[in-house]
Chains A and B, each alone.
Chain A
Amino acid sequence: MTDYQPFEHEQDDTGVDWNSPEMQARLHRRNIGDRFFRFVGFFAVTASAFFLVFLLGNIAQKGASGFLQTSIEIDVAFDADILPDPTNLEKDAFAAAVAQVNMQYLIRQALTNRFPEVTGRRDTTRLTRLLSSGARAQLRDIVIKNPELIGTTHRVSLLASDEIDQVVKGNTDVSVDEANRKLTDMELGWLQSLESEGRVTKDLHTRFLTSGDSREPELVGVWGAVAGSGLTLLVTLLTAFPIGVFAAIYLEEFAPKNRFTDIVEININNLAAVPSIVFGLLGLAVFLGLMGMARSAPLVGGLTLALLTLPTIIISARSAIAAVPPSIRDAARGLGASPMQVAFHHVVPLAMPGIMTGTIIGMARALGESAPLLMIGMVAFIVDVPASINDPATVLPVQIFIWADSPERAFIEKTSAAIMVLLFFLITMNGLAIWLRQKFERNW
């Protein structure tokens, strides 16, 4: 039974004239608008790309030399009269005995042998200052490792002082008046003389990646800060991830939708926008003041950063959970799955890529954070690499801050080099997040 009738189209005579001059002008204006917007957009992207390249280039250019370090080769006479005899000593006893030896004396001897014209206490001290104060420890380690050197004269490569290092790298302008620079003409003459013999070398500075902080720029390393950051982030991850994910699951899947949960939701969103230093104050008051935990320790830092990361994780986990199509929940519920089975068998596994992405982004933010850690004492000068979450430690951004604050010229490149290390970890984490998102992204 069909009484279907086609719609009748009325023919109206007041039709639009698409070729009228007004219409053409309007079309022209629209095209100009289009082109203008495209140009502005292109300009914006180019400008931001330029700034990014400039920033990264600047850091890389300054920081690259921070991974190199100048060494000076000198002929050290390993005097058997001063050094202990290894033949009748245990390994540890030998090492302890070597540690007692005044290595500075050996170094001074070696240098004055090379420059016999240098006399007088003042000039000799200047001469020994060509080398880093860490050269003594270097020499000690060489002797302990190679006891057979005792009694011979051997050419060893020792770290130069940071000022010599900066001159060799060309960071210090030596053309200025002698009174206005740290190195005198005499010292520069010594350096030139050593250079002409090929005794000055620039090598990859593995120490920078393996040791902790120091007062001397040529002896500093980021490993202490990297380990501190690692331990801190571990604490953050282990606390913020489970709490955040369970909070998100509860809020999204189980909590009744009422005024109370609305207020909770608003507050979580607000917490994400709270300045990070406020979380530092909270950590100071609660973890240090109330609970009396160890100051400057990754445990407290991690917990404080967990407070900071929680809102990020909850918000991203909630949106990932909400993005799971309701049809999947219906399907599971329709089969008689309990609410917990629906959540943990179906919703959470499907939301996991999103949850992990959000967590990594939150972790990356925590990694770059320094302000809250200032409040709980992680800004200290710490030479030892932390071995546990209760050892005093510092983190990468704080380390960068400390170095940037140091007056020695050589810290400029160390700061940039540390920024490069931090950026490396940040880019790695973000890359991991992108990879996870692409690998597990699903289309329904």
Chain B
Amino acid sequence: MLDMAEEKDLQSTVKPKVTLRDVHVHYGDVHAVNGIDLDLYSDKVTALIGPSGCGKSTLLRCLNRMNDTIPDCRVDGEILLDGKNIYDAKIDVVQLRARVGMVFQKPNPFPKSIYDNVAYGPRIHGIAADRTSLDEIVESSLEKAGLWQEVKDRLDDSGIALSGGQQQRLCIARAIAVSPEVILMDEPCSALDPIATAKVEALIDELSGRYAIVIVTHSMQQAARVSQKTVFFHLGEMIEQGDTTQIFTAPREERTRDYITGRFG
């Protein structure tokens, strides 16, 4: 059935933004991710679902090499961004992370002003030429994150003074500010209340056309609401991938069906 999915992908004329080929991840002796082949597309939201400890977050963190700092983590196989292996020695990890942004499980704004939070990325990468263009980047990023109206009068307030949902949208704005091509989201709503979750989900939907978004989630409903493609993991292996509607209405695998109907997980 994996072959079928691949064939289907090959048929599409759009080139995948990120391609994973036979990716294995080891933490010391633990084989956390076992031979993943996956394509991610620029105009799609891909949801990674699966029970806790199935390796979906690990795989996500491989995509911008956030696992580099974990001492005994080893990544094998190929992860290609626009056809170039991101684990190649020639790849500069600093630049890679500018191209592949990340939003974390717990909102983690810097304890600085709202403005500085968004401006930090452009500043360290030297994206803005002067103060005016930096102002523009900050405004447009906050605008895209749907936060501009709420914070435009208090850009100098601390980012940690915002509510949880606002903080998470600030983090998304911060990620967008460096114009990434891929945005990785690691359970971005798990620390938020339902109303804030709804806002963030609406935002993901809004952003979906412009960036390749990969979202790890524990919520089936969320995967069903925001994603176009869904990948189901179990015990480090990819069990099934396909269009979200297909996964949720007609899963091919029994384990997928059991998981999405809540029989295990």
Q: Tell me the A residues contacting B by CB distance below 8 Å.
A: 1-4, 256-257, 325, 327-328, 330-338, 341, 345-346, 350, 442, 444
A-B contacts counted at CB < 8 A amount to 67
Taking A328-B110, A330-B104, A350-B111 as contacts, is the C-beta distance between A335 and B262 under 8 angstroms?
Answer: no
Contact, CB under 8 Å: A331 / B171:
yes
Are A334 and B261 touching (Cβ within 8 A)?
Answer: no
What is the interface of chain B, defined by CB distance below 8 A to chain A? 64, 66, 69, 71, 94-98, 101-102, 104, 106, 108-111, 120-121, 124-125, 160, 171, 174-175, 178, 261-263
Partner of B125, one of A1, A330, A336, A444: A336
Say yes or no: B109 contacts A331, CB within 8 Å. yes
Please pick, from A1, A333, A442, the residue contacting B111 in the complex, using a CB distance under 8 A: A442
- B98, A336: Cβ atoms closer than 8 Å: yes
Contact between A335 and B109, CB atoms less than 8 A apart? no
Most chain B CB atoms below 10 A, which of A4, A331, A335, A444: A335
Q: A1-B262, A338-B94 are in contact. List 11 more A-B contacts (CB 8 A).
A: A327-B104, A330-B102, A331-B104, A333-B97, A334-B64, A335-B97, A335-B120, A336-B94, A341-B124, A345-B120, A345-B124
Q: List 26 A-B contacts (CB under 8 A).
A: A2-B262, A4-B262, A327-B104, A328-B110, A330-B102, A330-B108, A331-B104, A331-B108, A331-B171, A333-B69, A334-B97, A334-B101, A334-B102, A334-B175, A335-B98, A335-B121, A335-B124, A335-B175, A336-B94, A336-B125, A337-B94, A338-B94, A345-B120, A345-B124, A350-B111, A442-B111
Q: List the 8 closest A-B pairs by CB distance, nearest first.
A: A327-B108, A334-B102, A336-B98, A336-B97, A335-B121, A1-B261, A331-B108, A336-B94
Q: How far is the CA of A282 from the CA of B117 in the complex (A)?
A: 48
User: What residues of A have a CB within 8 angstroms of the CB of B71 in the complex?
Assistant: 256-257
Chain B residue nearest to A341 in the complex (CB): B124
Contact B262 A336 (CB under 8 A): no
Q: Hey, which chain B residues are within 8 Å of A257, CB to CB?
A: 71
CA A325 – CA B107 in complex, angstroms?
12
Contact assessment for B66 and A333 in the assembled complex, using a CB-CB cutoff below 8 Å: yes
Instruction: Give the complex CA separation of A411 and B31 in angstroms.
Output: 75
CB proximity of B53 to chain A, nearest CB, Å: 20
If A2-B262, A341-B124, A442-B111 touch, whether A334 touches B94 (CB-CB below 8 Å) is no
Question: Which chain A residues border B69 with CB–CB below 8 Å?
Answer: 333
**Alpha-carbon gap, A333 to B67, bound state (A):** 11
Contacts of B96 in A (CB 8 A): 336
Contacts of B104 in A (CB 8 A): 327, 330-331, 334
Inter-chain contacts of A256 with B (CB < 8 A) = 71
Residue of A whose beta carbon sits closest to that of B107? A327
- The answer to whether A334 and B66 touch (CB under 8 A), given A327-B104, A346-B110, is yes
The chain B residue sitting closest to A256, CB to CB, is B71
Bound form: Cα–Cα A2–B263 in Å = 9
Q: A331: which B residues are within 8 A, CB to CB? A: 104, 108-110, 171, 174
- Chain B residue at minimal CB-CB distance from A324: B111
CB distance from A350 to the nearest CB of B (A): 7
A341 to B108, CA, bound (A): 17
Chain B's nearest CB lies how many Å from the CB of A342? Answer: 10
The smallest C-beta distance from B204 to any residue of chain A, in angstroms, reads: 17
Contacts of A337 in B (CB 8 A): 94, 120, 124
Contact (Cβ within 8 A) B124 A336: yes
Nearest opposing residue in chain A for B184, CB measure: A334
Quick check: B66 and A330 within 8 Å, CB to CB? yes
Q: Which residues on the A side are within 8 Å of B98 (C-beta)?
A: 335-336
Partner of B178, one of A327, A335, A444: A335
CB distance from A210 to the nearest CB of B (A): 46
Q: How far is the CA of A195 from the CA of B175 in the complex (A)?
A: 84
B200 CB to nearest A CB, Å: 17
Least Cβ distance of A105 to chain B in Å? 74
Most B CB atoms within 10 A — which of A1, A325, A336, A338? A336
Q: Are A336's CB and B110's CB within 8 A?
A: no
What CA separation (Å) do A338 and B71 show in the bound complex?
17
Residues on B with beta carbons closer than 8 Å to the beta carbon of A3: 263
**A259 nearest CB across to chain B (Å):** 13
A14 to chain B, nearest CB (A): 34
Give min CB distance, B264 to chain A, whole Å: 12
Q: Give A350's nearest chain B residue, CB to CB.
A: B111
User: Can you name the residue of chain A whose Cβ is closest to the Cβ of B108?
Assistant: A327
Q: How far is the CA of A337 from the CA of B125 in the complex (A)?
A: 8
Closest chain-B Cβ to A345's Cβ sits at a distance in Å of: 8
Question: In the complex, what distance in Å separates the CA atom of A159 from the CA atom of B154?
Answer: 67
Report chain B residues within 8 Å CB of A325: 108
Q: Which residues of chain A are near B120, meaning CB under 8 Å?
A: 332, 335, 337, 345
Of all chain B residues, which has the CB nearest A4? B262
- A444 to B110, alpha carbons, bound, how many Å? 10
Residues of A within 8 A of B160 (CB): 444
Chain B hits for A442, CB < 8 A: 111
Chain B CB within 10 Å — which of A3, A325, A330 has the most? A330
Give the CA-CA distance A332 to B102 in the complex, in Å: 10
- Among B101, B106, B111, B261, contact of A335 (Cβ-Cβ < 8 Å): B101
Nearest Cβ on chain A to B215's Cβ, whole angstroms = 15
Nearest chain A CB to B104 CB, angstrom units: 6
Query: In the assembled complex, which residues on chain A have CB atoms less than 8 Å from the CB atom of B174?
Result: 331, 335
CB-nearest residue of chain B to A338 = B94
Closest residue of chain B to A329, judged by CB? B69
